[in-house]
Amino acid sequence: MKDIKGKISIVMPAYNEADHIVFGVEETIKTFEEFGCPWELIVIDDGSTDATYELLQGLTQKYPQLIIKRNSSNIGKGAAIRKSVHFITGEYVVFIDADLDLHPLQVQTLFDIMRLDNSDVVIGSKLHPNSVVKYPLQRRIISYAYYFLVRLLFNLPCHDTQTGLKLFKAEVARKVFPRILVKKFAFDLEILVNAHHLGYTITEAPIVLSPKRRYGRIGIDSVISTFLDTLAVFYRMYILHYYDRIDYYRSKNMAKELKRVRR
């Protein structure tokens, strides 16, 4: 990795990825070895019902820096990412999808942009003018519609919040991830809304996206839950001011819990 000093913690959420996980892990490791920087790879298997976990276990002997965490049941990508903050030990945090629709070589571009723009967060964006995105029309329409919704509701300095390749300075991740409440796909938005709210800078990077699956797995239920969760983030940010009073809410919950335990 050019001009970057410090360890990189790569967080790879995985759910029912038996077809892609071995290639995803090995290719990511190979890429970071070639970068020549210190790294750790944390794969979070989120209650997969296929062979994902067994395949991951098979890889741990070969790769000692590979850390596997497993949830006994599926808690959602957002909840899994939130959990990852407890395990990261690097100076930088990279999210990457296990299916490797976005090849890890592109992480170099994200680091270059972080350095040049002095950004705290750099996100891959399907809507960047230099991005190459081989995406079905239906997904493009959903992407644009979501961009307009986010633009209407939030004053974010980015267009596409949902791409599965993101780079954070670790101190930003440690500050922001524990604030996530969204368990499913709108967690990306919740992270960026909070990072922006806390004054961290966010820059977009071009990406090359080549989907492995002919038919995406994101169904109408995910679209609806993302829409509802997005409204919930808006409500918490601008009406409830939850994120500003997070410590107050947490201490209130703790007081309630103490009362319950003492009873």
Residue 80 interacts, among Mg ion, ligand GTP, none and using kind-specific CB cut-offs from 5 to 8 Å, with: ligand GTP
Which of 218, 223, 232, 246 is close enough to bind ligand GTP by CB under 6 A?
A: 218
Say if residues 43 and 14 touch (Cβ distance below 8 Å): yes
Q: Is residue 216 a contact partner of residue 126, using CB atoms and an 8 Å limit? A: no
190 binds, among Mg ion, ligand GTP, none (CB under 5 to 8 A by kind): none
Binding mask 87-126 for ligand GTP (x = CB under 6 A): ----------xxx-x-------------------------
Distance from C-alpha of 169 to C-alpha of 158, rounded to nearest angstrom: 18
- At 103, the amino acid letter reads H
The interface region with ligand GTP, picked from 14-22, 28-36, 152-160, 173-181 by CB under 6 A, is 14-22
8 Å CB contact between 41 and 67: yes
For residue 162, how many other CB atoms are within 10 A of its CB? 21
- Stretch of 31-39, 143-151, 152-160, 213-221 lying at the interface with ligand GTP (CB under 6 A): 213-221
Site string for ligand GTP, 228-257 (x = CB under 6 A): ------------------------------
Residue 1 CA: distances (Å) to CA of 8, 74, 145, 232: 10, 34, 36, 38
Choose the binding region for ligand GTP from 59-67, 69-77, 113-121, 166-174 (rule: CB under 6 A). 69-77
Q: Which does 146 bind (CB under 5 to 8 A by kind): Mg ion, ligand GTP, none?
A: none
Q: How far is CA 205 from CA 55, 161, 164, 171, in A?
A: 32, 11, 12, 21
- Read off the DSSP letter of residue 89: -
Give the residues lining the site for ligand GTP (CB under 6 A). Answer: 13-15, 17, 44, 46, 74, 76-77, 80, 97-99, 101, 164, 211, 213, 216-218
